């Protein structure tokens, strides 16, 4: 698989793109900032349109929680409920079922649903970060290296980034999923299975790693590589919602952009907001922060990311499909083009 990263003018932008390695420094984006006060601003709530957004317990949800805490959704006339869910897989499923208006997830759930249906749209990407999916095993299982996983029971989220990262970790160590006994369950079930000894290892992310540390203490052993892959957070909505309420999409993205600029100007405050919201150790948030970019966009390399991961799913038999969907048809660029055209560089067809 190859991952290609281009800016709108064909050059590499350090602020907007993490690069092949998935790494980025903390330099701020040089953009035309909207006026922003030092603290969070709030506007009175009157005749607000209700919107719900499903998010997973990861730093990829930073802009959602900052926009809510600082009143940026309210400024746009939106009454937004941030709905914490177990994973991006759950968020995309609830979005498609009409239980939430929008969902924020990594590429994997979006890609997997793209094989099955065409009734949703990608309205933006809102975050990129280095890999935060780590393999955790029990010290008393005698596993001191990835190679020791042969014949062991290893749990992950089916069709999600943990499964993808597990596959990459195995390949990096000259192994495949046939060398282990795969187990799939929800994050809470995986943690319980590891604690009870029903699996020897799991791959999880974000605050779930903190929970494992708390429950296993020194018996937890972590394996991972933040350069293994990059995580991009895709904001998706149902096609009928986008068609009926394009102004809501635009207002939503304007609030995200306000949050993006707040994060750039006030990183310490933003870290505190998201750490509290997802119940994640603030020291772990600070440690991961330099590898995160919060930027609202739709660019060509994000299309390539979906295509590359779809190729993995076909090659590895994760999906029974033999052909990769045309993910270009899922991109809805019109809202970002109206707000700030440079944020949308995907060569796309108009939504019919």
DSSP assignment, residue 226?
A: T
pLDDT at res. 3: 35
Tokens of 192: 């319980």
In DSSP terms, 179 is beta-bridged to none
pLDDT at position 24 is: 35
Token code pair at residue 323? 């052909």
- Greatest CA span in the chain, whole angstroms? 60
pLDDT of residue 44: 52
Question: Beta-carbon neighbour count of residue 52 at 10 Å?
Answer: 16
Query: What residue ranges do the domains of the chain occupy?
Result: 49-129+230-343, 133-223
**Residue 162 near residue 231, CB atoms below 8 Å:** no
Per-residue model confidence (pLDDT) at position 42 = 53
Rounded Cα distance, 160 and 47, in Å: 38
Q: Which CATH architecture has domain 133-223?
A: 3-Layer(aba) Sandwich (3.40)
Query: What does the pLDDT profile of the chain (352 residues) look like in tens digits?
Result: 333 333 333 333 434 434 333 333 333 332 333 333 445 755 554 589 999 999 999 999 999 999 999 999 999 999 999 999 999 999 999 999 999 999 999 999 999 999 999 999 999 999 999 999 999 999 999 998 999 999 999 999 999 999 999 999 999 999 999 999 999 999 999 999 999 999 999 999 999 999 999 999 999 999 999 999 999 999 999 999 999 999 999 999 999 999 999 999 999 999 999 999 999 999 999 999 999 999 999 999 999 999 999 999 999 889 999 999 999 999 999 999 999 999 999 985 554 4
Domain 49-129+230-343 has CATH 3.40.190.10: yes
pLDDT score for 209: 95
Whether the CB-CB separation of 127 and 64 falls below 8 Å is answered with no
Does residue 256 contact residue 63 with C-beta atoms inside 8 Å? Answer: yes
Kindly list the strands in the beta sheet with 292-293, ordered across the sheet, starting from the edge strand earlier in the chain: 78-84, 49-55, 102-105, 230-238, 120-130, 292-293
Determine the pLDDT at residue 41.
56
The reported pLDDT for the residue numbered 347 is: 80
| β 102-105/49-55 pair status | parallel
Shared fold status for 49-129+230-343 and 133-223: yes
């Amino acid at each position: 698989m190859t991952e290609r990263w281009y800016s709108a003018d064909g050059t590499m932008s350090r602020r907007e793109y993490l690069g092949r390695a998935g790494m980025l420094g903390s330099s701020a984006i040089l953009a035309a900032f909207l006026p922003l006060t030092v603290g969070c601003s709030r506007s009175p709530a009157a005749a607000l349109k209700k919107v719900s957004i499903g998010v997973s317990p990861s730093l990829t949800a930073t802009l959602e929680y900052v926009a809510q805490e600082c009143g940026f959704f309210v400024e746009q006339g939106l009454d937004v409920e941030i709905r914490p869910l177990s994973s991006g897989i759950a968020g995309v499923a609830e979005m498609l079922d009409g239980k939430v208006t929008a969902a924020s997830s990594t590429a994997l759930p979006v890609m997997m649903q793209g094989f099955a249906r065409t009734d949703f749209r990608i309205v933006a990407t809102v975050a990129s970060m280095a890999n935060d999916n780590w393999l955790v095993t029990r010290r008393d299982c005698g596993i001191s290296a990835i190679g020791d996983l042969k014949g062991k029971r290893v749990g992950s989220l089916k069709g999600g980034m943990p499964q993808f990262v597990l596959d990459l970790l195995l390949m990096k160590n000259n192994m495949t999923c046939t060398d282990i006994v795969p187990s799939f369950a929800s994050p809470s079930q995986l943690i319980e299975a590891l604690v009870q000894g029903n699996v020897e290892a799991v791959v999880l992310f974000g605050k779930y790693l903190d929970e494992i540390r708390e429950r296993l203490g020194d018996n937890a052993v972590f394996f991972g590589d933040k350069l293994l892959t990059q995580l991009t957070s895709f904001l998706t909505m149902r096609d009928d919602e986008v068609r009926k309420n394009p102004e809501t999409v635009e207002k939503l993205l304007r609030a995200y952009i306000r949050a993006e600029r707040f994060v750039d100007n006030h990183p310490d405050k933003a870290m505190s907001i998201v750490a509290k919201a997802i119940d994640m150790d603030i020291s772990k948030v600070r440690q991961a922060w330099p590898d995160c970019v919060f930027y609202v966009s739709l660019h060509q390399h994000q299309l390539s990311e979906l295509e590359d991961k779809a190729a993995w799913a076909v090659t590895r038999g994760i999906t029974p499909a033999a052909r990769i969907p045309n993910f270009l048809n899922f991109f809805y660029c019109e809202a970002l083009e109206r707000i700030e055209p440079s944020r949308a560089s995907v060569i796309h067809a108009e939504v019919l």
